[in-house]
Amino acid sequence: MTVNGKTYEHEVEPRLLLVYYLREVLGLTGTNVGCDTTSCGACTVLLNGESVKSCTVLAVQADGADITTIEGLAGPDGKLHPIQEAFREHHALQCGYCTPGMVMAVTSLLRENPHPSEDQVRFGLEGNLCRCTGYHNIVKAVLAAAAAGAGSAPIGAGTAGAVPTGGAVAGGGAR
Amino acid sequence: MIPAAFDYTRAGSAEEAVSLLSQHGDEAKLLAGGHSLLPLMKLRLATPALLVDVGRLGELSYVRDEGDHIAIGALTRHHDLVHSDLLRQQVPILSHTAGLVGDPQVRHRGTIGGSLAHGDPASDLPAVVLALGGTLVARGPRGERTIPATEFFRGFLETALAPDELLTEIRVPKAGGGWSYQKFNRRAFDWAIVGVAAVADGGGRAAVSLVNMGPTPLRATAVEEALAGGASVAEAASHAADGLDPPSDLNASPEYRRHLATVLVRRALEEAGTR
């Protein structure tokens, strides 16, 4: 499996969920586990460029796939992806727990529909819950990111190892 | 939540999937998008010994014009149904409703065949295929057979598919006339508390089906008969729950569902008549 541009090979139990493969085998803990029941969207990652809830995908189903997590979104020099930048600029997070999943869902949404209406943004994020109810700023951030052309912005560096973690990555907190 | 241990194998073709199913009987389950099966396995409500992954059988992902009907491969994802121009033009109710299943992440994984084969009365697409008068194609060790949607749903999470059969195709007639799908829920991505699919024939009649009003998706025969007998929309809709025994759960009592069904059938018939 390729994760954030880096290829990994592991023998895993069939029942291992993709989210636990990312977090516990690869140590990529930016992807959070929220409800664990396909509801909240905190575990959203990109599978071959499309958003999926990684608590409801087996790691073996993603065998050979190209996965992008929140750690792979910023550039190699740590420059935030325009969606991350917009989340920071518009304060689209409160506790931050839903943020990695929210950002990945937005990445997929804007790749499919680069210039959504406000309604399309809200409908497009129906699979992601923010328990702080900070939706208004999230929607503002998404519209701003769309206006800045985030839908066609490149994703990450292709080398996960080069991506700085911690404070520089919006949504990387709340581990 | 972690599923109980199981063996996993990936089928390289529909034939191989059927052969694996016939070897392993009801110990094996087919895995497509996994968005109905994996949640059940995580809750240990399903504990198959073997998962046969058919999720990569690209040969079963398509939307084709077959003249009098549209043929849809069972492994076509909800996302692809939403974005199929052919389906949008020829069977708009199915394309529209696929866009209401779950949320975008679910629609990137879930398939129409998986949704139908799961047989959940609260799911959207089974009711739509039922209202359209669709036909399902199943492949088993003894070959292929077709099953009318009206005979496919047998009970709660129970269908006419044998344990060694693979659902391969869904055929739906072209339906360019009036239609409506009404889905009522409290949270955006939830299942319908009650849903209604209506497909008008242009002559005052309509096929109407109900979501979450019994152990299977149901045709609202009393409504259809009233319309055929010349009843007004309001009068026909008042028969929406006739003879039905809808479930009770955290979201709604049976009485609430019966009332909701009459309201949603009226809205569906009104919209189908004006669309």
CATH code of the domain covering residue A21: 3.10.20.30
B199-229 pLDDT tens trace = 999 888 999 999 999 999 999 999 999 999 9
Interchain contact B45–A (C-beta under 8 A): no
Q: Indicate whether A170 pLDDT > 70.
A: no
Closest chain A residue to B41, measured at CA:
A15
Q: Is residue A95 part of a domain?
A: no
Q: How many domains is chain A partitioned into structurally? A: 1
All residues at 6 or more sequence positions from A23 whose CB lies less than 8 Å from its CB, including other chains: A29, A31, A33
CA distances from B119 to B77, B97, B253 (A): 17, 17, 22
Q: Is residue A159 part of a domain?
A: no
pLDDT at B1: 86
Residue B238 C-alpha, separation from nearest chain A C-alpha, in angstroms = 32
pLDDT at A158: 41
The domain in which residue A36 lies consists of 2-72
* CA-based radius of gyration for chain B: 18
ipTM, two decimals: 0.94
Q: Does domain B58-173 have CATH number 3.30.2320.80?
A: no
pLDDT at A157: 53
Closest chain A residue to B33, measured at CA:
A57
Antiparallel, parallel or unpaired: β B135-140 and B7-10: unpaired
pLDDT at A24: 98
Q: Is residue A34 part of a domain?
A: yes
Smallest Cβ–Cβ distance between B7 and the set A14, A17, A36 belongs to: A14
Query: Among residues of chain B, what percentage have pLDDT more than 90?
Result: 95
Spell out the CATH class of B7-53: alpha beta
CA B55, CA B36: separation in Å to the nearest integer?
Answer: 13
Q: Indicate whether A18 pLDDT > 50.
A: yes
What residues of chain A lie within 8 A of the CB of B103, using their CB? 41, 126-128
Considering only CB atoms, which residues of chain A are within 8 Å of chain B? 13-15, 17, 36-39, 41, 44, 47, 50-53, 56-58, 60-61, 105, 108-109, 123-124, 126-128
CATH architecture for segment(s) B179-272: 2-Layer Sandwich (3.30)
Contact A124 B7 (CB under 8 A): no
CA B262, CA B152: separation in Å to the nearest integer?
Answer: 25
Contact A14 B103 (CB under 8 A): no
Q: Is residue A65 part of a domain?
A: yes
Contact B34 A57 (CB under 8 A): yes
CB B211 within 8 A of CB B183: yes
Residue B5 C-alpha, separation from nearest chain A C-alpha, in angstroms = 6
Query: Among residues of chain A, what percentage have pLDDT more than 70?
Result: 89
Antiparallel, parallel or unpaired: β A6-7 and A2-3: antiparallel
Q: Is residue A80 part of a domain?
A: no
Token pair 């749903």 is found at B153
CATH 3.30.465.10 maps onto chain B at 58-173
Query: Among residues of chain B, what percentage have pLDDT more than 70?
Result: 100
Interchain contact B234–A (C-beta under 8 A): no
A61-90 pLDDT tens trace = 999 999 999 999 999 899 999 999 999 999
> What's the whole-model pTM score?
0.93
Closest chain B residue to A52, measured at CA:
B105
- Among B residues 94-133, those touching chain A with beta carbons less than 8 Å apart: 102-106, 108-109
Name the band, by pLDDT with cuts 50, 70 and 90, for residue A143.
Answer: very high
pLDDT at B275: 72
Contact A52 B55 (CB under 8 A): no
B123-152 pLDDT tens trace = 999 999 999 999 999 999 999 999 999 999
Contact A126 B106 (CB under 8 A): no
Name the band, by pLDDT with cuts 50, 70 and 90, for residue A156.
Answer: confident
What residues of chain B lie within 8 A of the CB of A24, using their CB? none
CB B101 within 8 A of CB B80: no
Closest chain B residue to A46, measured at CA:
B105
Average pLDDT, chain B: 96
Interchain contact B6–A (C-beta under 8 A): yes
pLDDT at B90: 97
B61-110 pLDDT tens trace = 999 999 999 999 999 999 999 999 999 999 999 999 999 999 999 999 99
Token pair 């974005």 is found at B83
Q: Indicate whether B5 pLDDT > 80.
A: yes
What residues of chain A lie within 8 A of the CB of B34, using their CB? 56-58, 61
Name the band, by pLDDT with cuts 50, 70 and 90, for residue A50.
Answer: very high
**H or E element in which residue B56 lies:** none
Q: Is residue A150 part of a domain?
A: no
SS3 at position B139: strand
Contact B6 A14 (CB under 8 A): yes
Which phi and psi angles does B31 have, rounded to 5°?
-115, 120
Closest chain B residue to A39, measured at CA:
B189
Question: Mean per-residue pLDDT for B230-251?
Answer: 96
pLDDT at A165: 36
Q: Is residue A39 part of a domain?
A: yes
Q: Indicate whether B41 pLDDT > 50.
A: yes
Q: Is residue A147 part of a domain?
A: no
Smallest Cβ–Cβ distance between B105 and the set A14, A41, A123 belongs to: A41
Contact A36 B1 (CB under 8 A): yes
Look at A150-164, B12-26, B39-53, B155-169 and tell me which has the smallest mean pLDDT: A150-164
